[in-house]
Amino acid sequence: MNMLEIKDLSVHFKSRAGTVHAVEGVNLWLEKGELLGVAGESGCGKTTTTLAIPGLLPQNAFIPRGQILFNGEDLVKKTEKEMEKVRWKQISVIFQGAMNALNPLQTVGKQMIEPILLHEPHVSKKEAEERVKELLEQVGIEKNRFTNYPHEFSGGMRQRVMIAMSLVCDPELVIADEPVTALDVMIQAQILELLKKLVKKYSLSMIMISHDLSVLCELCDKIAIMYAGRVVEYGYAREVFTHPKHPYTVKLLHSLPDIYGEKVFINGIPGYPPSLITPPAGCPFCERCTERIPECGSRVPELVDLGGGHYAACCRQTEGRAVV
Amino acid sequence: MNLEKKTMGEKVQEQRSADRGKTIEVNDLYVTYNVRKKRKKAKNQAGDEECVHAVNGVTMDIRTGEILAVVGESGCGKTTLGKAILNIIRSSSGTIKYHGQDLSKLSGSQIQSLRQKMQLIFQDPYESLDPRQSVYKALEEPLDIHRKDMSPEQKKERIYKYLEAVGLHPAETMAQRYPHHLSGGQRQRLSIAATMILEPDFVVADEPVSMLDVSIRAEILKLMLDLQKGTDLTYMFITHDLSLAWLIADRIAVFYLGKLVEIGQADDVVHRCMHPYSQALVSVIPKIREEADEDKGHVLRGETPSPMSIPSGCCFHTRCWLYQEKGCPEVCRQKEPALVTVGGDHQAACHFAGPEEKGGDLHG
Amino acid sequence: MSKMKEKKRNEVWEQMWGDGLGRAGIILLALILVISIIGPILFPFDAKDVGTSAAQIMEAPSAEHILGTDEMGRDVFRELLLGARVSLFVGLTATAISILVGALVGLISGFYSGFMSNMLMRITDFFIALPVLPMIIVLAAVFGQSITITIAVIGLTSWPSTARIIRSQVVSIRERQYIERIRALGAKDSRIIMIHILPNVLPLIYANTVLVIAGSILSEATLAFLGLGDPVSVSWGTMLHYAFVTGAAGRGAWWYLVPPGIGIVLVVLAFTLIGHTLDKIMNPRLREY
């Protein structure tokens, strides 16, 4: 059984301009111990989808249909009180922009002890402190910085603190929302190395969100590409990167310069993503797609199994007229 | 020197002669800021004043018609350097020459008129435009400041011409819009138009595409390249993305803590890099289409030291993997390495870099 | 270009009207303006109408005098209408001075840093610390009591708060990247202030102006009530002053005390409601940008 299964999930937002169909009919799954990368550009719904898992959506969001099965239990149906037990103990989050996620008025140590004391009341404060200090060491921060305030850390160090904080209750699943955006390339590499080490050490399952495909390519086992609120491609990372099956993925990969390849000028994708308030009738990528067939404008393609754990949502694929 | 660049799948051969002259010559440039605490200059224990050494003794040329990429992480001084060259920030010492003219020797009005020729494209398309100015006004402003000789009709013509040139059409409609009506890509096009409308010959582009979605970047970069065709326009392209620099630039200059550590043709600096920092930067670029090596190359430990306390000798030695490999030689701690020519156009500032004929120690 | 500006103005109007409090304020203000402009024309105050017999002093409301008479036998209703004009006039002119000085100081001290800015801020602080009442007493003693003095005093003591608000907004705008870009373009300071900073600060100035009007009217009423205003012109504050001084409270002459009091409250309320709503509308826009 998959540890996490998202079935036909839709997340809509109420806004003054209308209902925003941020996420539409998303299917994703994750086995225990796997690292899933969710990639896409701004507005594609990757953050909304993944933050729906621990139930951290904003007030004006609602889930009209779909299931999020975590170890067999549907999280969508759980009450807020029930979700409080799940959060951090079973599913934790590494937030984007650590400076905004940390309380500037409390020491880092105090903030890290809090979830332990909340979820495991039988643990004494001293024990919790020891655990936290151990974790700080694991992420490369000296134990005595337990009493420092967030502003006393540099950007890269703060992100390490965020990572340590997410592991404090020994969760099964960690969601990392753009964990290395806005960091220097060298610090990025350090943090990614750290994540790799921690995933192995603590047998974690992880979902990593990024708009930067190159960040995901070396770390993730599986990858899901999202566009306009839908998953358009899903499969083993190596496969998807070397043999992409969806025209959007193909174009996205061509937008990245590759120093190990030929010096070919990158291609962009002309046009804009469709409106999420009035989504188009057919495939969301149809308007910008150079491979479209007449059917693309009227039918929304489903994610179809192309063999070897590789899925794509493209009309051409299902018609047997493969793009690539 | 022949440079082959395939644009959009086509092979385009461009011949750039190595010597069309130099637009910018920077000589031993220093930009230092004093940090004032409590109205008194902060003094550390030794009694020295605390300063931020943003740019430390940089000497380099920017050749006419080229794209020079300036690459480095935050705090390396690349943006400060760009602004100092454009005289937006005052340099502490050293000279900057524009087409041979020493900028420090020019009067205020001469510098003012030079501003037409030397411009800056900003990074953030959302912050670099006045939200209360229409597109038309945003483009009219540079002309109002520098080209008072132009009549309103002439200005209108030029504004429309540049709106079309950067792909914001139809010009009449776009001219009436305000920035919040435009997408990120469109705003950046407007920024570029506002820069190019004065027809400068030197443009510093400070991370012009890093805040844009990946799929939009290509069109902005292509626009910048198109605007350069057939002119003497020279770009200083500041970026933290080494692979983007490799793709678009003729030459790459790598900076660390305010110092130029390596400079040369793009292919040389990326594929035959001589400085251990450049090597580290190249090694952390992810391999997208290939299997990643288990041994992750040279991921540097720790963080870049603060520009307020730059290490002695070679500023990089505290994080240098080569320094460790060679058993912490004293020369790295004591002596600042000078830029050494390792082959043709290619220079590196490392005690262990040498001309390629000698077989530099780095590639074993 | 003007179409876009018109659209923006309409949006602001729509939002003002759409907000309950804003709408109340607009209606109230409209009523007051109508009354103060048309009122005295419809019901002119005739000096000859002053009562001559003792019975007509402090007379309760009747058919002839809707709001009764004051201590001189004058019709309170007509005084009220006239007083509206004076109160509003003083309030508006004092505000004009306050906003002009405050905005100027705010813009300059915000835009420049260093000696000039510090000096201006210290001067601002000085004016904040100035006590209004003693100052007006001194000025009145030296220059005599008049409307001009009243307006001058209110104007010169209320500008600091405007200056402070504007200054902080200017300081935050001046750091924004588009200002840096315009400077890099070679624009002179005057251009930057007039074309780029001022338009971005104007919404704040508008909202603040309306609130200052409310404050000025209240200040005028206070000063007049204390007997420091112009003894010749009738404002609501003056009415209250004379009401107290001639013992209207003791006599139970509520028709003399209550109307000007309510008048002041309503005017100040109207401007405050509009000002706060404007602030609410303008501020998200400022944040938006």
ipTM: 0.87
Residue A255 binned pLDDT confidence (cut-offs 50, 70, 90): confident
Provide mean pLDDT across the span A242-269.
88
Mean pLDDT rounded to a whole number for chain C: 83
In a domain, C119, yes or no: yes
Residue A229 binned pLDDT confidence (cut-offs 50, 70, 90): very high
Task: Determine the pLDDT at residue B1.
Answer: 27
Give me the domains of chain B, ranges plus CATH numbers. 21-117+200-297 (3.40.50.300), 130-199 (no CATH)
Q: Are residues A137 and A13 in the same domain?
A: no
Non-local (6+) Cβ contacts of A57 within 8 A are A11, A48, A51
User: Chain A contact for B271, CB < 8 A?
Assistant: yes
Q: How far is A54 from chain B (nearest CA, A)?
A: 27
Contact: B130, C200; criterion CB under 8 Å? yes
Number of domains in chain C: 1
pLDDT beyond 70 at A152: yes
Task: Determine the pLDDT at residue B318.
Answer: 92
Task: Determine the pLDDT at residue B359.
Answer: 39
Residue A293 binned pLDDT confidence (cut-offs 50, 70, 90): confident
How far is CA A285 from each of CA A44, A276, B31, rounded to the nearest angstrom? 11, 12, 49
- B348 three-state secondary structure: strand
Provide mean pLDDT across the span A103-113.
91
Please tell me the pTM assigned to this model: 0.83
Non-local (6+) Cβ contacts of C18 within 8 A are none
Task: Determine the pLDDT at residue B364.
Answer: 34
User: Chain B contact for A189, CB < 8 A?
Assistant: yes
Q: Are residues A63 and A111 in the same domain?
A: no
Provide mean pLDDT across the span B204-221.
91
Q: Does a cis peptide bond (omega within 30 degrees of 0) precede residue B170? A: yes
Dihedral sign, CA of C21, C23, C24, C29? positive
Q: Are residues A218 and A308 in the same domain?
A: yes
Task: Determine the pLDDT at residue B357.
Answer: 43
Whole-number Å distance between alpha carbons of A181 and A101: 14
Per-residue pLDDT tens over the stretch C217-234? 888 888 888 888 887 888
Nearest CA in chain A to B215: A268
Per-residue pLDDT tens over the stretch C267-287? 889 998 888 888 888 766 555
Task: Determine the pLDDT at residue C7.
Answer: 66
Whole-number Å distance between alpha carbons of C176 and B122: 12
Phi, psi of A87 (to 5 degrees): -65, 135
Question: Hunting for tokens 């904003």 — which residue is that?
Answer: A58
Provide mean pLDDT across the span A152-176.
91
Task: Determine the pLDDT at residue A266.
Answer: 84
pLDDT beyond 80 at B353: yes
Mean pLDDT rounded to a whole number for chain A: 89
CATH assignment at residue A53: 3.40.50.300
Q: How far is C239 from chain B (nearest CA, A)?
A: 47
How far is CA C107 from each of CA A209, C101, C178, rounded to the nearest angstrom? 44, 10, 17
Q: Are residues A62 and A105 in the same domain?
A: no
Task: Determine the pLDDT at residue C50.
Answer: 66
Q: What angle do CA B23, B246, B115 make, to 5 degrees?
A: 30
Contact: B216, A268; criterion CB under 8 Å? yes
In a domain, C77, yes or no: yes
CATH assignment at residue C130: 1.10.3720.10
All partners of chain A with 3 or more CB pairs under 8 angstroms: B
Per-residue pLDDT tens over the stretch B56-108? 999 999 999 999 999 999 889 999 999 999 999 999 999 999 999 999 888 88
Task: Determine the pLDDT at residue B9.
Answer: 31
Whole-number Å distance between alpha carbons of A234 and A236: 7
Q: How far is CA B244 from the centre of its chain?
A: 12
Per-residue pLDDT tens over the stretch C166-203? 999 999 999 899 999 999 888 999 999 999 999 888 88
Task: Determine the pLDDT at residue B64.
Answer: 93
Phi, psi of A35 (to 5 degrees): -115, 110
> Which among A24, A75, A73, A34 has a CA at the least distance from the CA of A54?
A75
Q: Are residues A297 and A215 in the same domain?
A: yes
In a domain, C59, yes or no: no
Q: Are residues A113 and A65 in the same domain?
A: no
Point out the residue among A241, A256, A257 whose CB comes nearest to the CB of B246: A257
For chain A, the three-class secondary structure string (H helix, E strand, C coil) is CCCEEEEEEEEEEEECCEEEEEEEEEEEEECCCCEEEEECCCCCCHHHHHHHCCCCCCCCEEEEEEEEEECCEEHHHCCHHHHHHHECCCEEEECCCHHHHCCCCCCHHHHHHHHHHHHCCCCCHHHHHHHHHHHHHHCCCCHHHHHCCHHHCCHHHHHHHHHHHHCCCCCCEEEEECCCCCCCHHHHHHHHHHHHHHHHHCCCEEEEEECCHHHHHCCCCEEEEEECCEEEEEEEHHHHHHCCCCHHHHHHHHCCCCCCCCCECCCCCCCCCCCCCCCCCCCCCHHHCCCCCHHHHCCCCCCEECCCCCEECCHHHHCCCCCC
Q: Considering only residues A69 and C231, tell me which one the structure prediction assigns the higher pLDDT.
A: A69
- Which of A143, A170, A197 is at the close of a domain? A170
Q: How many CB atoms lie within 10 A of CB B52?
A: 17
Q: Are residues A299 and A240 in the same domain?
A: yes
Contact: B282, A259; criterion CB under 8 Å? yes
Q: Which residues in B lie closer than 8 A to residue A189 (C-beta atoms)?
A: 284, 296, 299
pLDDT beyond 60 at B6: no
pLDDT beyond 60 at B217: yes
Non-local (6+) Cβ contacts of B296 within 8 A are A189, A193, B283, B284
Contact: B141, C185; criterion CB under 8 Å? yes
Point out the residue among B271, B287, B303 whose CB comes nearest to the CB of A218: B287
Task: Determine the pLDDT at residue C70.
Answer: 78
A to B CB pairs, distance under 8 Å: 117
- Give me the domain span that covers residue A133: 99-170
Number of domains in chain A: 2
Phi, psi of C216 (to 5 degrees): -65, -40
Contact: A268, B217; criterion CB under 8 Å? yes
Task: Determine the pLDDT at residue A323.
Answer: 47
- Give me the domain span that covers residue C249: 66-288
> Which of A44, A158, A236, A259 is the best mutation test for B, with the most CBs of B within 10 A?
A259
Q: B30 pairs with which residues across the strands?
A: B56, B93
Whole-number Å distance between alpha carbons of A42 and A24: 16
* Contact between chain A and chain C (3 or more Cβ pairs less than 8 Å apart): no
Nearest CA in chain B to C184: B88
Per the CB < 8 A criterion, the answer to whether A90 and A73 are in contact is no
In a domain, A257, yes or no: yes
In a domain, A195, yes or no: no
* Contact between chain B and chain A (3 or more Cβ pairs less than 8 Å apart): yes
Q: Are residues A178 and A254 in the same domain?
A: yes
Q: Which residues in B lie closer than 8 A to residue C199 (C-beta atoms)?
A: 132
In a domain, C14, yes or no: no
Q: Are residues A138 and A177 in the same domain?
A: no
* Percent of chain A predicted with pLDDT > 70: 98
Contact: C4, B132; criterion CB under 8 Å? no
User: Chain B contact for A142, CB < 8 A?
Assistant: no
In a domain, C169, yes or no: yes
Per-residue pLDDT tens over the stretch C132-172? 778 777 877 788 788 888 888 888 888 998 899 899 999 99
Q: Are residues A166 and A182 in the same domain?
A: no
In a domain, A42, yes or no: yes
Q: Tell me which of B166-180, B285-299, C85-99 is least confident.
A: B285-299
- Which of A146, A170, A194 is at the close of a domain? A170
How far is CA C134 from each of CA B84, C125, C137, C139, rounded to the nearest angstrom? 55, 17, 5, 9
pLDDT beyond 60 at B207: yes
Task: Determine the pLDDT at residue B14.
Answer: 42
Task: Determine the pLDDT at residue C287.
Answer: 52
Non-local (6+) Cβ contacts of C262 within 8 A are none
Whole-number Å distance between alpha carbons of A312 and A318: 9
Whole-number Å distance between alpha carbons of B264 and C230: 82
Residue A64 binned pLDDT confidence (cut-offs 50, 70, 90): very high
Q: Are residues A57 and A117 in the same domain?
A: no
In a domain, A287, yes or no: yes
Q: How far is C169 from chain B (nearest CA, A)?
A: 15
Task: Determine the pLDDT at residue B2.
Answer: 29
In a domain, A201, yes or no: no
In a domain, C231, yes or no: yes
Task: Locate B319 and state its tokens.
Answer: 């994080």
In a domain, C211, yes or no: yes
* Percent of chain B predicted with pLDDT > 70: 87
Per-residue pLDDT tens over the stretch A41-55? 888 999 999 999 999
Per-residue pLDDT tens over the stretch B7-61? 433 322 343 445 678 899 999 999 998 886 544 444 554 445 678 999 999 999 9
Provide mean pLDDT across the span B158-165.
93
Question: Hunting for tokens 């937008």 — which residue is that?
Answer: A255
Q: Tell me which of A120-124, B285-289, C207-211 is least confident.
A: B285-289
Whole-number Å distance between alpha carbons of A190 and A196: 10
Q: Are residues A44 and A158 in the same domain?
A: no
